[in-house]
Chains A and B, each alone.
Chain A
Amino acid sequence: MSTAVRIDSVSKIYSASPSVLQRVFSSRSASGFQALRDVSLDIQHGEFFGLLGPNGAGKTSLISILAGLSKPTTGRVTVCGFDVQSQYREARRALGVVPQELVFDPFFTVRETLRLQSGYFGLRRNDDWIDEVLENLGLSSKAETNMRALSGGMKRRVLVAQALVHRPPVIVLDEPTAGVDVDLRRTLWHFISRLNRQGHTILLTTHYLEEAEELCGRIAMLKAGQVVALDSTRAILSKVGGTRLILQLDQPWKKQASAALDALHIESADNRLVLRLERSLDLEPVLAQVRAAGYSIVDLEVAPADLEDAFLNIMHQTPNVVQELA
C-alpha cells in the first residue's frame, strides 16, 4: 500500500504580519505563535482517516498546510508523492478540500459555481460528473438557484461538491457537519463512504466523535500542536477506553468507599456508577468489591468504551502515557 499523504516533521509558527515592503523584498520571519510542533504522520491510499483534537489543537493549521493555504515553517508535506510547496500544481490536483467556513460567491448559481471550480482545474467539459455529484448530494433541484438563495445546509453541500469536481484521489473534510441537520449528515456520509470504497482517501476532522468512531479506520489526535495519539480507531478504543461497566446501585455511590474502585471510577450520579474495566476478566472481582463496599447491584450493563472516553482520557493524560500511545 502506498502513501497518499505524508506529513513529515511539520512545525508551524505564525509570524506577526510584516509590512508590504518587507514581504516584497524579503522572506518571512519565524517568530510568533506556534500552532504545530514537529507533526509527522502518514495516511495510506484508500484510508478513512480522522484528525481529532480540541479547538486550537492545530487541525485546521495542518489542513491549511496540506492544501497550500499556509506554508510550513519547517518540515515537508506530500500528497500522492507531490510536495505541496515545490510541486503544488500536481499536489493540488490530487487534493479536494472542503473548507470549514461556509463561503460562497454570490454572483453565481450552483451549476455555474461548480463549472467554474471545474474549469479552474482545467476541466471544461465536466457536466456529467457535475450532474452526478449534484445528484448524490441532493442538489439537483437547486442547480440553477443562485448561491445567495440557498440555506446554510445547501451551501455546505455545494462546498462539498466544489471539492469533488476534479475527482481528487484525496478528499479533506474540515468539520463538514458542524451545524448541519441529520439529513445532510446521512447524505454526506453515505456519499463520502462510497467514494472511500471506490478508492478515494478521506481525511476528516470533526468534533462529533461518534462520527469518527463510526467512519474512520485510523485516528490521530492533536493536542497543542502535537500528535498525542496515532493508531487504528479500534486500538485507541481498546488501549485507552477499555470497557465500561455501568451499574445501578441501591444507594448513591460515595467516593472513597473503596480505593481499588476509585482507580477505575469514570463517573457517578445518583445511584448510577460507571467504572472502567481494563479486561472483561476483571468483571467478577470488581462486582465483588462493590458488594464488599456495602452496595447492592440492582442492574448491570457492560458497554464498549466510546471514542469520547478515549478522547477525554488522552487529552487529560500525563505526557508519559501519551508518549506510549503515540
Chain B
Amino acid sequence: MTPTPLQPQLNTGSGFTTLFRKEVSRFAKVGFQTVAAPVVTALLYLLIFAHVLEGRVMVYSSIVYTAFLIPGLMMMSMLQNSFANASSSLVQSRMTGNLVFILLPPFTHWEIFGAYVLAAVARGLTVGAAIYVVSLFFVDVPLTHPLWIVVFAVLGTGIMASLGIIAGLWAEKFDQMAAFQNFLIMPATFLSGVFYSIHSLPSFWLAVSHWNPIFYTIDGFRYGFFGVSDVSPWQSLAVVGFTFLLMAFAALRLIRIGYKVRF
C-alpha cells in the first residue's frame, strides 16, 4: 500500500497516428497481394479490352478507347481496394479476437474511423497511382484538371473505406464478407461506366446508372483527366460528397455504439 496512489498518465497525446501507421503497415507488409496484384489485374483488363475494342470505339468523339478506359480501371481498383482494406482488417481482427487491442486503448470513435479510413484511402490511392504510371507505357492519358482527380479519388475511396468499416463490423463470417463484396461492391463498380460511357446504354440502364453513386465517382474522376464527362462534375461532386457523408455518418455511429464489438 502506498501513501500516494499511482495516477494514470493522462497527457500522453493521441494514439491516432500509431493506429494509422499500423493499418498502413498491415497492407504494406503484404504489398504483392494488396498493391501489385490489383495493378496486374487492371493491366490485364486494359490489354484485353483495348485489344478487342481499340479503333472500333471512340468515346466523346475524340478520346481513344484505351485512354478512356484507364481512369475507369483506376477508380474501380481504387474503390475495391479501399473497401477491401478497411473491411478485411476489421473482419480479421474480429475473427482472431485481436480487435481487443484497439478496443482497450482510449481511442475516440473519430480516431478509429479516421485511422481505418485514411489507411484504406492510402491503399486506394497507391493502387490508382501505380495503375496510372504503368498505363503510361501503353497510352498517353492527360491530366486536364488534377484537383478534380484528387477530390474524386479521395472521396470515392473514402466512401468505400467507410462502407468497408460498416461491412467489417456487420459481417460475422468471411462468407458474409465475400457476399458483400461480390453481390454489392463488384456489380456497383462494374455497372458504373468503367468500361463505357453510360450514354451508350439503353434508356432503362441509363436511368439505373444515375441511381448508382459509384457512377458519379468514376464520371467525375474521368472529367479530371479529359475535361469531358457524362454529367456535370459539380453534380457528381454533390452526389459523391453526400454519399461520403452518409457512409461516414453510419460508420462513425456504428463504431461509437460498438456495434457487434462492445456488447
By a CB distance below 8 angstroms, the chain B residues around A169 are 5-8
Kindly supply a per-residue 1/0 record for chain B positions 171-200, scoring 1 wherever the CB is within 8 Å of any chain A CB and 0 otherwise: 000000000000000000000000000000
A278 to B93, CA, bound (A): 53
Question: A24 contacts B104, CB within 8 Å?
Answer: no
Q: Check if A208 is an interface residue, CB within 8 A of chain B.
A: no
Q: Check if B26 is an interface residue, CB within 8 A of chain A.
A: yes
By a CB distance below 8 angstroms, the chain B residues around A198 are 2, 6
Which residue from A68, A89, A90, A200 sits with its C-beta under 8 Å from B6? A200
A72 to B91, CA, bound (A): 25
A14 to B262, CA, bound (A): 11
A166 to B8, CA, bound (A): 8
Question: B104 contacts A69, CB within 8 Å?
Answer: yes
Which residue from A68, A97, A101, A104 sits with its C-beta under 8 Å from B262? A68
Question: B19 contacts A120, CB within 8 Å?
Answer: yes
Q: Check if A124 is an interface residue, CB within 8 A of chain B.
A: yes
By a CB distance below 8 angstroms, the chain B residues around A88 are 106
A125 to B157, CA, bound (A): 33
How close is A148's CB to chain B, nearest CB, in angstroms? Answer: 11
By a CB distance below 8 angstroms, the chain A residues around B22 are 116, 119
Question: B98 contacts A105, CB within 8 Å?
Answer: yes
By a CB distance below 8 angstroms, the chain A residues around B262 are 68-71
For window 69-111 of chain B, which residues contact chain A by CB distance below 8 Å?
A: 93, 96-98, 100-108
Closest to A71 in B: B262
Which residue from B5, B97, B106 sits with its C-beta under 8 Å from A121? B106
Question: A97 contacts B98, CB within 8 Å?
Answer: no
For window 1-55 of chain B, which residues contact chain A by CB distance below 8 Å?
A: 1-2, 4-10, 12-15, 17-19, 21-22, 25-26, 29
Q: Is the interface of A mostly helix, strand, loop or mixed?
A: loop
How close is B102's CB to chain A, nearest CB, in angstroms? Answer: 7
From known contacts A69-B104, A92-B106, A105-B98, infer whether A116 and B18 are also in contact, taking CB-CB under 8 Å.
Answer: yes
Closest to A14 in B: B263
**Size class of the contact patch on chain A:** 35 or more
Interface centre among B10, B29, B254 (most CB of A within 10 A): B10
Q: Check if A117 is an interface residue, CB within 8 A of chain B.
A: yes
Question: B12 contacts A107, CB within 8 Å?
Answer: no
By a CB distance below 8 angstroms, the chain A residues around B21 are 119
By a CB distance below 8 angstroms, the chain A residues around B4 are 199
From known contacts A71-B262, A199-B5, infer whether A103 and B100 are also in contact, taking CB-CB under 8 Å.
Answer: yes
Kindly supply a per-residue 1/0 record for chain B positions 245-261, scoring 1 wherever the CB is within 8 Å of any chain A CB and 0 otherwise: 00000100110011110
Question: B8 contacts A168, CB within 8 Å?
Answer: yes
How close is A227's CB to chain B, nearest CB, in angstroms? Answer: 21
Q: Report the 10 A-B pairs with minimum CB-CB distance, sorted nearest first.
A: A119-B18, A45-B5, A122-B12, A94-B8, A120-B105, A199-B2, A169-B6, A103-B97, A122-B13, A120-B15
Supply 28 A–B pairs (Cβ within 8 Å), ascending by A: A20-B254, A44-B1, A45-B6, A46-B2, A64-B263, A69-B262, A70-B262, A71-B258, A71-B262, A88-B106, A92-B106, A93-B9, A93-B106, A99-B97, A101-B100, A103-B97, A104-B96, A105-B96, A105-B101, A119-B17, A120-B101, A122-B14, A123-B9, A167-B9, A169-B6, A169-B7, A198-B2, A199-B2
Contacts A93-B12, A104-B96, A107-B26 known; list 17 others, CB within 8 Å.
A45-B6, A67-B103, A69-B104, A80-B5, A89-B106, A92-B104, A92-B106, A94-B8, A105-B96, A116-B22, A116-B101, A119-B21, A120-B15, A166-B8, A167-B6, A169-B5, A200-B6
